[in-house]
Amino acid sequence: MLFYALIGLSLVLLGISGLQFTYMFYLDRLHVERKKYLKELEAKSAKLTRQLADAEKRIAMIESAHPEMRKDDEIWAEVIEEA
């Protein structure tokens, strides 16, 4: 009788270890996916940073060519009120 209990206990422990391995592989897959997503976010961030720098250069060129179009909160307030 004790022999059957030991067999049952060993099968239960085998099932638990299988569940732990499955969970470990799941966590590893999540880690890989998150690393991939993080690389995509970093690439998008770099692209947006370049676009922002380009836009700032364009704004600086426009402001130097047309000094009357300088950034001024009062002018923008008037423009917003007129709209």
The reported pLDDT for the residue numbered 47 is: 97
pLDDT over 70 for what percent of the chain? 81
Q: Does residue 42 contact residue 48 with C-beta atoms inside 8 Å? A: no
What pTM did the predictor assign?
0.59
Structure tokens at 9: 């206990």
Helix (H) or strand (E) holding 48: helix 2-65
Q: Does residue 55 contact residue 49 with C-beta atoms inside 8 Å? A: no
Structure tokens at 39: 């690389």
Of the two residues 14 and 55, the one the predictor is more confident about is 14
Of the two residues 76 and 36, the one the predictor is more confident about is 36
**Per-residue pLDDT tens over the stretch 26-57:** 999 999 999 999 999 999 999 999 999 988 89
